[in-house]
Chains A and B, each alone.
Chain A
Amino acid sequence: MIAAKVRPARSRGGYRAGRVSLGWIATFCLPALVLYGMFVVVPLVTAFSYGLFRWEGIRPAEFAGLGNYQEVLTRYPLNEEIPAALWHNLLFFAGTMAIQNTVGLGLAVLLYRNPRGKRLFQTVFSLPYLISPLIVGYIWSLLLSPTFGPINFLLRTAGLDAWARPWLGDPDTALPVLILVNAWQWIGGPMLIFLAALGGIPRELEEAAAMDGASKFRAFWSVRFPLLMPAVGVITVLTFIGCFNLFDLVYALGGSDGGPSGAMDVLGLLYYRTAFEGGTNSIGESSALAIMIFVVVFGVSVALERFLRRREVRM
């Protein structure tokens, strides 16, 4: 994915072998290697083994093979919570692609065509990007609160009393509000990526199409859009991964139970509850759950990347 884009080193960039001693190589590489190995790689590898044991508190009691996986998928209430949470994650992904990324593309195209004030708009649109999702959640929970929130107040003032509602307390609106709040925060990302991609496309291509008599619309869809496909691919994969990492925002908007009757429950929250609010075998079960989530996300990301790249080549 991203790593694959690193170009192989040009030969002129390196010195010949043998000129740098092993001591220097160790001095330069070991600190990063130890830090990264100890606190990222080892825990990740260990996490895989945790799921294979039945645990009693913090002691592994017996080897369970895939027992934990079976347990997690069949035992009540997890067997109902997992599909529900997964469904919310998928709805969230679809909603985010439909709203955040299309609006992001629209803003990028507008800015590309009207570069006056581009820098200012870029900055303003990406401002929420920097704020922690947790804080974004708290900000919106205050703004959307049923009686004293400014949003409902403004709706009532505008005579739209019927629209004023407990946005986050109503199972019907909670998830859509979550998608919108999330899009509000991240829209700067797709916008900047699309803007960079648009800037990288030579104008001559579209001009040539125009000379051949293509309409503006056709020039965009047939010439420019296909060249944006790499950007679309990157954004789709990033959005997908981001959707499954969802935790802080939902925690702030709906607590660790996922809002009104679990309407915003997602896999991240479910994992947290299983790991830290679960029973005696919580380590085994939550590790199995984490690994299933990881395999799905990683597998789908790789497949998406492959699929999009193949389309790119064809176009």
Chain B
Amino acid sequence: MSRPESGGRVPGFAAHALLWCYAALAVGPLILVVIGSFRSNADILRQPVGLPDSLGFDNYLRAWQTASISTYFANSIMVTVAAVALCVAVSAMAAYALSRWRFRGRALLAAFFLSGLMIPAKLGLLPVFYMFQSMGLIDTRPGLVLLYAAGGVPFSIFVIMGFVRGLPTELEEAARLDGANEGRLFVSVALPLMRPALAVVTVFQFAPTWNDFFYPLVLMRSDSKYTVPVGLTRFFGEFATDRATLFAGLVIAIAPLVLVFALATKQIIAGLTAGMSR
């Protein structure tokens, strides 16, 4: 694909044709899924590719209610929102302290947090499993929240620290002269300035938490507490022959992420390249 360089410049229209081709490849499968979700199952089995006869939401209703995707969805929302909020809150405080204050062991503490970037947390799955068993956290949503929040700490601290270092300290110095204490400085002065970094971190924790499959696969037992990904494995087993409903279920599972993506493309690109600047 890097041939364009060899023959000099690719004419603009050829380059755009290539880009559009790849765009079709990237989006085509998703469009097939969306179209499939509006067709009846009999139609799909008769002719796998085709347009829906009418625009009905029967499949969505069946997936949402009969297949209890609504339950999985509510669980995923609860777990994801709580985990991301907890993670961002504790990381913002620690990152602020680590980048603004000098104290003994500061560098060591920062290194301790950041070392988590390099080690796959999933390696500790079995110990987590037995720890949860002794703490009564198996098959509970709070258990998942704690795991996800903890797993997000290294990346969040990494991004927020990098950002806080670049912020000017004058405003805080001024507030300090006015007699504000450290807690007040953080909440009223620093936090508002840190918003862009907090946004990047929030968006970046949201997707992996929403998508995670491994932890709930191992730690959750009851159907009523499943998050969307584990719920889907059950759903695919039960509705294996009902493709129309499967397509609708997949669209529901993807929708929240597409929404986040649409609202936060800028933060996503900033986060993806966070380690790359300089």
A positions within 8 Å CB-CB of B: 1-3, 5-7, 9-10, 12-17, 19-20, 22, 24-25, 27-29, 31-33, 35-36, 38-44, 46-47, 50, 58, 102-103, 105-107, 109-111, 113-114, 116-117, 119, 121-128, 130-135, 138-140, 142-143, 148-150, 152-154, 157, 184, 187, 189, 192-193, 196-197, 215-217, 220-221, 230-231, 234, 241, 245, 247-248, 251-252, 275-276, 283, 286-287, 290-291, 294, 297-298, 301
The answer to the question of B183 belonging to the interface, with a C-beta cut-off of 8 Å to chain A, is yes
Known A17-B104, A143-B33, A150-B32; further 5 A-B contacts with Cβ < 8 A: A42-B124, A43-B121, A116-B16, A184-B25, A216-B6
Give me 23 A-to-B residue pairs in the complex whose CB atoms sit less than 8 angstroms apart, sorted by A's number: A2-B158, A10-B165, A15-B100, A25-B103, A31-B93, A32-B94, A36-B150, A50-B127, A106-B3, A117-B19, A127-B258, A131-B254, A133-B213, A135-B250, A138-B232, A139-B33, A148-B243, A157-B49, A245-B122, A248-B211, A248-B229, A286-B126, A298-B118
Q: Across the two chains, which residue of chain B brings its CB closest to A28?
A: B97
Q: Which residue of B93, B116, B126, B258 is within 8 Å of A287 (Cβ)?
A: B126
A252 and B253 alpha carbons, distance in the complex (Å): 15
A182 and B5 alpha carbons, distance in the complex (Å): 27
Q: Which residue of A43, A124, A241 is within 8 Å of B23 (Cβ)?
A: A124
B126 touches A109 (CB 8 A): no
A188 to chain B, nearest CB (A): 8
B181 to chain A, nearest CB (A): 8
A110 and B149 alpha carbons, distance in the complex (Å): 39
Q: List, in ascending order, chain B residues with CB within 8 A of A149's CB.
A: 48
A16 and B101 alpha carbons, distance in the complex (Å): 8
Question: Main secondary structure on chain A at its contact with chain B?
Answer: helix
B12 to chain A, nearest CB (A): 6
A113 and B102 alpha carbons, distance in the complex (Å): 46
A44 and B260 alpha carbons, distance in the complex (Å): 32
B127 touches A193 (CB 8 A): no
How does the 8 Å CB contact mask read for B151-174 relative to A, with 1 for contact and 0 for none?
101100110011011000100000
Q: List, in ascending order, chain B residues with CB within 8 A of A301's CB.
A: 118
Interface residues on B, range: 35 or more
Q: Which residue of A19, A131, A193 is within 8 Å of B276 (Cβ)?
A: A193
Q: List, in ascending order, chain B residues with CB within 8 A of A197's CB.
A: 276
Which of B55-63, B65-73, B107-115, B193-201 is near enough to bind chain A? B107-115
A40 touches B275 (CB 8 A): no
A18 to chain B, nearest CB (A): 9
Closest 3 CB pairs of A and B: A106-B1, A43-B124, A132-B211
Q: Across the two chains, which residue of chain B brings its CB closest to A128?
A: B26
Q: List, in ascending order, chain A residues with CB within 8 A of B51's CB.
A: none
A139 touches B29 (CB 8 A): yes
B9 to chain A, nearest CB (A): 7
A221 and B3 alpha carbons, distance in the complex (Å): 12
Q: Which residue of A114, A125, A248 is within 8 Å of B16 (Cβ)?
A: A114
Q: List, in ascending order, chain A residues with CB within 8 A of B97's CB.
A: 24-25, 28-29
Q: List, in ascending order, chain B residues with CB within 8 A of A5's CB.
A: 275, 278
A65 and B16 alpha carbons, distance in the complex (Å): 61
Q: Across the two chains, which residue of chain B brings its CB closest to A36?
A: B153
Q: Which residue of A116, A121, A192, A216 is within 8 Å of B272 (Cβ)?
A: A192
A8 and B241 alpha carbons, distance in the complex (Å): 58
A128 and B257 alpha carbons, distance in the complex (Å): 10
B182 touches A24 (CB 8 A): yes
A7 and B278 alpha carbons, distance in the complex (Å): 10
Q: List, in ascending order, chain A residues with CB within 8 A of B111's CB.
A: 3
A3 touches B103 (CB 8 A): no
B258 touches A47 (CB 8 A): no
The answer to the question of B74 belonging to the interface, with a C-beta cut-off of 8 Å to chain A, is no
Q: List, in ascending order, chain B residues with CB within 8 A of A46's CB.
A: 124, 127
The answer to the question of B222 belonging to the interface, with a C-beta cut-off of 8 Å to chain A, is no
Q: Across the two chains, which residue of chain B brings its CB closest to A248?
A: B213
Q: List, in ascending order, chain A residues with CB within 8 A of B25's CB.
A: 184
A101 and B4 alpha carbons, distance in the complex (Å): 16
The answer to the question of B189 belonging to the interface, with a C-beta cut-off of 8 Å to chain A, is no
Q: List, in ascending order, chain A residues with CB within 8 A of B151's CB.
A: 39-40
Residue among B147, B183, B229, B260 with most chain A CB within 10 A: B229
B99 to chain A, nearest CB (A): 6
Given contacts A50-B127, A131-B211, A138-B236, whether A106 and B90 have CB atoms under 8 Å apart is no
Residue among A5, A105, A135, A301 with most chain B CB within 10 A: A135
B102 touches A14 (CB 8 A): yes
